[in-house]
Amino acid sequence: MNTAARLAAYGAGLAVAFAAAFATAAAVVPESAVTDRQNGTTMKHDAGHGSAGADGAAAAAGHGAGTSHAPAGTSLSAGGYVLSAVQAPSAAGGTGDLSFRILHANGTPVTAYRQQHEKDLHLIVVRSDGSRFRHVHPALDVTTGTWSIPWTWDAGGSYRVFADFRPAGAAEGVTLTRTVDVAGELRPASPSGPRTVDTVDGYRAELTGDLVAGGQSDLRVTLTRDGAPVTTLQPYLGAFGHLVALREGDLAYLHVHAEGDEPRPGQTSGPTVDFAAHAPTAGRYLLYLDFQVQGTVRTATFVLDAAPDGHH
């Protein structure tokens, strides 16, 4: 299936949004400000993925029309749902569980979900400087509505926790977020300019294509190892590549899958993975690509600047 057909089949495009790329932890948006900011609407990889607006109806209208590209994941409440306080070890090196609940506006827990990309809920955790990225899938206790996963913080700092999910019966997916402060030594990642090549465990990932604000951008990642093309990419969450994107400044969020047909069981691919991206504004974006080879998921990180339309 070509790009145009896939976009039509799934409800379309990608609103890319990006984290404080390689800034210091002090650059994180205060949670009070985050709480006041409501999710916007976004074109989705599929009809049920993304965020609902604060009033729900406006968000649904935006998704149905496919005309809005406001970023998602900047609020702890949206579309009639609330992300509870996040319980986790308070200091780096401590062990325990990270847990939380998704609540209805009346305070009752959500216990039934509709899968997106093969999971009921995607949990993204990243430090405010763009480092320490993790994409995991906690377990749900349906009796209490509590999501939990064993957890240890590798380093101190201020972290953003994103819950990306779609309640059963909901017309749209929702992305909610909270800030978690972790005690411990903090060594912020050094500021960095655009980066289109990353090497992870001997795998070299190169990103080609330009981001243009306000329009669709075609991006391609090519994977090699020891100079040879990697042709053994395995499906991960229903695709051969999975992208999480965070925008500098407001830490807005969205994740999408690669372009192309959904993989068949046992199918492999490579060395390229294609994406159709829509950057809502000019500015700097950080992209995290998850890919799987021989049963191991690895993450390559890229930094791109989106140029204003007509200036690329």
More confident residue, 308 or 4: 308
Q: What mean pLDDT, rounded, does the chain reach?
A: 79
State the pLDDT at residue 311.
63
Q: Three-state DSSP class for 263?
A: coil
The residue written with tokens 């990419």 in the block is: 233
For residue 120, count other CB atoms closer than 10 A to its CB: 18
- CATH annotation of 197-306: 2.60.40.1930
Residue 133 clears pLDDT 90, i.e. is over it: yes
C-alpha to C-alpha distance for 120 and 5, rounded to whole angstroms:
26
pLDDT one-digit tens code per residue, 215-243 = 788 899 999 999 999 999 999 998 999 88
Longest dimension (CA), the chain: 56
Domain boundaries, the chain: 3-16+23-182, 197-306
Task: Identify the band that residue 130 occupies on the pLDDT scale cut at 50, 70 and 90.
Answer: confident
Domains 3-16+23-182 and 197-306 share a fold: yes
pLDDT at residue 107 tops 70: yes
User: Which tokens go with 242?
Assistant: 């999975």
Residues paired with residue 167 on neighbouring β-strands, in sequence order: 113
- Tokens encoding 214: 């306000």
Instruction: Render pLDDT for 170-220 as a digit per residue (tens, 0 to 9).
Output: 988 999 999 999 999 888 887 678 999 999 999 999 999 988 888 788 899
- Is 205 exposed, middle or buried, given 0-12, 13-18 or 19+ CB atoms closer than 10 A? buried
Architecture of the domain whose range is 3-16+23-182: Sandwich (2.60)
Q: Residue 224: its pLDDT value, please?
A: 98
